[in-house]
Amino acid sequence: MNTPQSNASHSTASSAPLWRLMVATGNVVQAVRAGRSMTAELEAVSAELRPGVQALSFQVMRQLGRAIALRALLAKKAPPPAADALLCTALALVWDEHAAPYPVHTLVNQVVEAAQQQRQTRPQSGFINACLRRFMRERAELVARTETDPHAQWNHPHWWVERLQLERPEQWQTLLSVAQKPAPMTLRVHQGHHTVAAYQLQLEVLGISSKKVGLSGLQLDKAVPVQQLPGFAQGHVSVQDAAAQLAAPLLLAGLDTEKSLKILDACAAPGGKTGHLLEYCPQARVVALDVDAARCQRIHQNLQRLGVQADVRAADAGQVSTWWDGEAFDAILLDAPCTASGIVRRHPDVRWLRRPTDSAQLAKIQAQLLHALWPLLAFGGRLLYCTCSVFKAEGDDVVQTFVRRNTDALLQASPGHLIPGQIPRGLPVGDNALGEHDGFYYALLEKRRH
């Protein structure tokens, strides 16, 4: 996600001065530290600045723990939020000069300029300048002093590191290291249009290298704009992580996909899994729900591009009486709300937004959704419960409790927690064939008669 090295004009390809990028990036960092989503903040940035600000913001989020630790050494008392965000932004970008997106002296000068250009940070511009100049002089010593701080070393909150150490004693370091790297771009090929091999050849002709992952996926060696993908606008291919691509085949395996199955996608936005279900089972009658009407528009857009249709409704899946017509479903996909701890490399702000109590609170919501939707499933039908979390409270703990309380629920062979770097089990694909996948959880439940 690094932006290219800047020349002496300190300008991006759009000719925006670097200090303006720094102002906007500092604002994003301040917003995240106040509990707001980076995605929403970036959407509010002007189109001219957004690519550069996004690249810088992603890098800062991945190094924010180190930056906060360094700032604490430079100034025991934090400056006002806007100045602190700008100072931490600078430290996150310059502490490792080999990974700096611009020459370090350029970044320091432009951050100070950014502080002087803003009314809310102008009074602290001298303080920011002094801190950064001191850091430049004492870099080696200051960085060394932060090496024993897990917050700085792993760039995750202390509680997050400790939870992974407890729950994943053999994988915690891998999980934290993977979260520091940009996620690969993985495609799902619509095999109604092309075989995976045929589409891979189309990419090769364009100079786009890839490797096969999963049943119908291609992981690109280097990300490209979707407009460069052959047939993207016509729905020949979609962007979807390899772990997420397992939902449709796991849910529909063993069911007669030639029939007009009635399927519920309970938390469907933005519609990637909904579309995949319809690619697998074109005759299916799919009801796709999302509680947010605006996000339902995303579902419509994705389905329209794929050339498939579903009954998309803005509704709370847990409030069954407000949307269900009384006809049982043959299959239910419950991609439940979660901490998103498994996709933190794609959303590096998540680690700074979550709180230690979030998993337990979300687990209650997950259990409530399972309890509400289970009666809607026909006997012999299947429910696939999944989350994009690596925390056990949002995976095995929820499912095992549900199975104990519902004797008509049979837990089928399922992958369970998919941990990056760990060979998966119970997949409809060969072992370790998912490439560099996200962290995920899957449990397949079949409804049987007592």
Q: Which amino acid, residue 433?
A: A
Residues 52, 21 contacting (CB under 8 angstroms): yes
- Answer yes or no: 388 catalytic: yes
Q: Give 425's pLDDT tier (boundaries 50, 70, 90).
A: confident
Q: Taking the CB of residue 145, how many other CB atoms lie within 10 A of it?
A: 15
Residue 369 has pLDDT above 60, yes or no: yes
**pLDDT recorded at residue 413:** 86
Q: How many residues does the chain have?
A: 450
Which residue did the predictor score with more confidence, 399 or 425? 399
Q: Tell me the C-alpha distance between 408 and 217, whole Å.
A: 35
According to DSSP, the residues that pair with 314 across neighbouring strands are 290
Q: Catalytic one among 131, 267, 296, 388?
A: 388
Q: Which strand (E) or helix (H) includes residue 174?
A: helix 172-178
Cα separation, 309 vs 143, whole angstroms: 55
Domain span(s) for CATH 3.40.50.150 in the chain: 244-447
**Three-class secondary structure of residue 213 per DSSP:** strand
> What would the two tokens of residue 90 be?
């600078």
pLDDT at 8 over 90: no
CA distance 349 to 355: 12
Which of the following CATH numbers is that of domain 244-447: 3.40.50.10860, 3.40.50.150, 3.40.50.2000, 2.60.40.2470? 3.40.50.150
**Residue 432 pLDDT:** 60
Structure confidence at residue 13 (pLDDT):
41
- DSSP 8-state secondary structure symbol assigned to residue 311: E
Return the CATH architecture of domain 18-155: Orthogonal Bundle (1.10)
User: Which secondary-structure segment (H or E) carries 217?
Assistant: strand 217-220
Average pLDDT, the chain: 93
For the chain, what percent of residues have pLDDT higher than 70?
Answer: 96
pLDDT in tens, 217-276: 999 999 999 999 999 999 999 999 999 999 999 999 889 888 899 999 999 999 999 999
CA dist 115 and 124 (Å) reads 7
pLDDT tens for 370-413 read 999 999 999 999 999 999 999 999 999 999 999 999 999 999 98
Residues 152, 145: Cα–Cα separation, whole Å: 10
How confident is the model at residue 431, as a pLDDT?
Answer: 60
User: How far apart (Å, rounded) are the C-alpha atoms in residues 67 and 78?
Assistant: 12
Cβ contact 367:395 at 8 Å: no
Q: Where in the chain is the domain with CATH 1.10.940.10?
A: 18-155
Q: 446 with 410: CB under 8 angstroms?
A: yes
As a whole number, mean pLDDT of residues 41-69 equals 97
pLDDT at 3: 37
Closest to 223 (Cα-Cα) out of 233, 212, 208, 213: 208
Position 429 pLDDT exceeds 80: no
For the record, the structure tokens of 145 come out as: 């002093």
pLDDT of residue 173: 95
Check whether 320 has a pLDDT greater than 60.
yes
DSSP structure string for 105-124: HHHHHHHHHHHHHSTTTGGG
- Write the pLDDT tens digit of every residue in 94-113: 999 999 999 999 999 999 99
Burial class (CB in 10 A: 0-12, 13-18, 19+), 316: middle
Average confidence (pLDDT) over 70-76? 95
Q: What is the pLDDT of residue 7?
A: 33
pLDDT of residue 12: 40
Question: CA-based Rg of the chain, rounded to a whole angstrom?
Answer: 24
Which amino acid does the sequence have at 439?
A: G
- Portions of the chain given CATH number 3.30.70.1170: 186-239
User: What local confidence, expressed as pLDDT, does residue 5 receive?
Assistant: 34
Look at residue 304 and give its three-state secondary structure: helix
Q: Taking 50 as the threshold, does the pLDDT of residue 147 lie above it?
A: yes
Domain covering 186-239, topology: Alpha-Beta Plaits (3.30.70)
Q: Vertex 229, ends 48 and 300: CA angle to 5°?
A: 75
pLDDT at site 424? 73
The Cα–Cα gap between 306 and 45 comes to 30
Cα 105 versus chain centre, distance: 33
Instruction: Tally DSSP H helices, then E strands, for the chain.
Output: 18, 12
Q: What is the rounded CA–CA span in Å between residue 97 and residue 103?
A: 8
pTM for this prediction: 0.92
